[in-house]
């Protein structure tokens, strides 16, 4: 049965600022004057014009002693040591793979850094390169959904691999790529790098994954930080709606408001 819903547009309501944590942030837009004090050194996101320090990006001002910089709210991913990233392989080259990670340049994954399941050691040779194709080839079936969001919305946490109680697992990449997949049955080969799951995913799992995906999109649209608790609360708030309705503007507002409330209650 076809379902087509059309509506008249509604003017966007200005969302009030959520409770500030740890003091007010000094937010600037491109062209805003940060300071007229010439004693400061200019950092990223700023420039000097007529003895005034002006912001060149939209973001929050950060001050470290004499260095003033503006950290942009929406940027490409800038990697840091220890980050977890999720990438999409775009090219296969001689000894490496080109990976798309929403950064300024394409990332590179060397064959020598690949860990095989079982953790066996192997010699890096020509046979090794060819043997790689036994594990993964172009066009292989991947069970899971990738959601791409802005890197600034992924909260830094101790771990980015989460097995949610609703039956799916997520990997929250610091680069804004979020991988949602059905929780694997057993967890034996911890030392390995990946599992090759080629079975079709059951409908119940796919519904959970679709729901999670829509919840993440809803959180991102309302600019809420993404972490395991916020995603879970949003999932629970969405259960009273059909999966496809979650993306309707009024439903998104409702469930994110509920999520925001629960998160505030958690803190307070």
Residues near another protein, by CB under 8 A? 1-12, 90, 138-145, 200-201, 203, 206-207, 210-211, 213-214, 217, 242-249
Q: How far is the CB of 179 from another protein (least distance, A)?
A: 12
Nearer to another protein, 116 or 217 (CB): 217
6: left (phi over 0), alpha (psi -120 to 50) or beta: beta
Measured between alpha carbons, how far is 138 from 92 in angstroms, rounded to an integer? 9
Alpha-carbon distances of 204 from 167, 187, 213, 230, rounded to whole Å = 9, 21, 14, 22
Nearer to another protein, 118 or 202 (CB): 202
Nearer to another protein, 7 or 187 (CB): 7
Coil/strand/helix, residue 242: coil
Nearer to another protein, 27 or 217 (CB): 217
Nearer to another protein, 44 or 248 (CB): 248
Measured between alpha carbons, how far is 22 from 19 in angstroms, rounded to an integer? 10
75: left (phi over 0), alpha (psi -120 to 50) or beta: beta
Q: How far is the CB of 235 from another protein (least distance, A)?
A: 13
Q: How far is the CB of 42 from another protein (least distance, A)?
A: 30
H helix or E strand, kind and range, residue 182: strand 177-182
Q: How far is the CB of 39 from another protein (least distance, A)?
A: 40
Q: How far is the CB of 138 from another protein (least distance, A)?
A: 8
Measured between alpha carbons, how far is 208 from 214 in angstroms, rounded to an integer? 10
Nearer to another protein, 118 or 249 (CB): 249
Q: How far is the CB of 11 from another protein (least distance, A)?
A: 4
Contact 210, 243 (CB under 8 A): yes
């Amino acid at each position: 049965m076809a379902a087509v819903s059309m509506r008249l547009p509604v003017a966007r309501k200005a969302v009030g600022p959520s409770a500030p944590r740890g003091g007010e942030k000094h937010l600037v837009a491109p062209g805003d004057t940060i300071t007229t004090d010439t004693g400061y050194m200019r950092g990223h996101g700023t420039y000097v014009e007529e003895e005034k320090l002006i912001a060149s990006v939209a973001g929050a001002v950060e001050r470290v002693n004499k260095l003033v910089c503006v950290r942009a709210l929406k940027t490409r991913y800038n990697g840091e040591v220890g980050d977890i990233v999720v990438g999409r392989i775009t090219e296969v080259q001689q000894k490496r793979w080109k990976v798309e990670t929403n950064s300024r340049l394409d990332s590179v994954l060397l064959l020598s850094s690949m860990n095989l399941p079982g953790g066996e050691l192997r010699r890096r040779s020509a046979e090794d390169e060819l043997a790689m194709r036994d594990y993964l080839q172009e066009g292989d079936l991947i069970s899971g959904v990738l959601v791409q969001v802005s890197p600034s919305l992924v909260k830094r946490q101790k771990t980015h691999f989460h097995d949610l109680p609703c039956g799916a697992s997520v990997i929250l990449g610091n680069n804004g790529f979020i991988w949602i997949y059905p929780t694997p049955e057993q967890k034996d080969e911890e030392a390995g790098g990946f599992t090759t799951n080629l079975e079709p995913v059951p409908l119940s799992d796919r519904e959970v994954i679709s729901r999670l995906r829509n919840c993440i999109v809803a959180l991102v649209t309302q600019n809420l930080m993404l972490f395991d608790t916020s995603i879970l609360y949003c999932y629970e708030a969405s259960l009273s709606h059909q999966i496809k309705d979650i993306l309707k503007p009024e439903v998104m507002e409702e469930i994110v408001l509920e999520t925001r409330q629960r998160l505030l209650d958690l803190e307070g």
